[in-house]
Amino acid sequence: MVNFKGKHILSGKQFNREEIEHILKVASDLREELKSRPSLDLTRGNILATLFFEPSTRTRLSFESAMLRLGGSVIGFAEASTSSTAKGESLEDTILTVCQYADVIAMRHPQIGSAERASRVATVPILNGGDGAGQHPTQALLDILTIKTEKGAIDGLTVALVGDLKNGRTVHALVELLKHYQVEMIFVAPQELRMPPEITESLKSFGVKIKETDTLSSALKEADIVYMTRVQKERFSDPSEYEKLKDAFILNRAMVEQGKAGITILHPLPRVTEISTDVDSLPGAAYFRQVRNGLYVRMALIALVLGKI
């Protein structure tokens, strides 16, 4: 029996398929409930603290809106400069302090493992909103909710993951959830930014079918889902290499129209240039619906760890 009451949400790796399905079910139910009214009364009187040691407007506002739409309240900070950290306080002491004020904490921090460190001292549930190059489980859950919502089911799909697969935190988290489903993955990346072999091997040993390519257009012909991420110039040791490659990793309308019919396009956002705005009006452009699903997933997690569902 799945029960998240009092649990910390630290990593996509902590969930089995049953738990993922439960979260998606709760998120979908909340989406239905919000169709008839703007907010619920599930967490009335409870307080969420959003501790953003590293700024992220999108993630912070999503957590805050989630708590408000559940009927609760929010305190917090948007950047470390206004926090006690600037006075030399340890992360553990900050967490122990905020546990006296709030019923649940959503945090983002630049250091890998920080959410896990926080969870070791916390007396209220910690929701990891990103710990440096580490985990970002709510992003992975909203990605998978979007796939399920757009396609009806996840089993049987071919998912292309595109861009910087070497450093991409969201991509690494997403494959950890996707591996619990019968999906085929296509990794589309420049040679220098390929998915780390240990991840590819681990997925294969889990039974996942994987293809690797550096050609986006060919992947688009096979994929049901294309998950775009950015290829950053700074990641290349040889800038001329970047110049050669960059256009091949920008998705535009013409490329989509030559791809598989009904293809769904996702992106963790913010985007800079990696998806042309002429893609936005295509029916398969799901990245802003994906943002909305982030709200439902975070509502689900907050309600679940507070034991309200």
Residues that bind its own copies (CB under 8 A): 37-39, 44-47, 49, 52, 55-58, 61-62, 64-65, 68-69, 71, 73-79, 81-84, 86-89, 92-94, 96-103, 269-272, 277, 288, 291-292, 294-295
- At closest approach, how far in Å is the CB of 89 from its own copies? 4
By beta-carbon proximity to its own copies, the closer residue of 49 and 140 is 49
Q: Which residue, 3 or 90, is less far from its own copies as judged by CB?
A: 90
CB 34 to its own copies: min, Å: 10
Q: Is 271 a catalytic residue?
A: no
Question: Residue 171 contacts by C-beta under 8 Å, 6 or more apart in sequence?
Answer: 161, 163, 164, 165, 195, 227, 229
* 87 catalytic residue (yes or no): yes
Of the residues 22, 31, 43, 59, only one is catalytic, namely 59
When the beta carbons of 69 and 180 are compared against its own copies, the nearer one is 69
- Smallest gap from Cβ 292 to its own copies, in A, equals 4
Q: Is 59 a catalytic residue?
A: yes
Nearer to its own copies, 182 or 277 (CB): 277
Q: Which of 58, 166, 194, 246 is catalytic?
A: 58
Question: Is 245 in contact with 180 (CB distance < 8 Å)?
Answer: no
How far is 34 from 85, CA to CA, in rounded Å? 37
By beta-carbon proximity to its own copies, the closer residue of 208 and 231 is 231
Nearer to its own copies by Cβ, of 45 and 197: the residue is 45
The residue from 22, 108, 109, 267 that is catalytic is 108
Q: Return the number of the residue (52 or 187) whose C-beta is nearest its own copies.
A: 52
| Separation CA 149–CA 296 (nearest Å) | 12
Question: Which two tokens mark 178?
Answer: 């996707």
Least Å distance between CB 152 and its own copies? 21
* Catalytic one of 60, 117, 136, 298: 136
| Known active-site residue 13 | no
Distance of closest approach, residue 79 Cβ to its own copies, in angstroms: 5
**How far, in Å, CA of 176 to CA of 191, rounded?**
22
Cβ 115 to its own copies shortest distance, Å: 18
The rounded distance, in Å, linking the Cα atoms of 129 and 157 is: 27
Q: How many residues does the chain have?
A: 309
* Distance in Å, CB of 254 to its own copies, minimum: 21
Q: Which residues are catalytic?
A: 58-59, 87, 108, 136
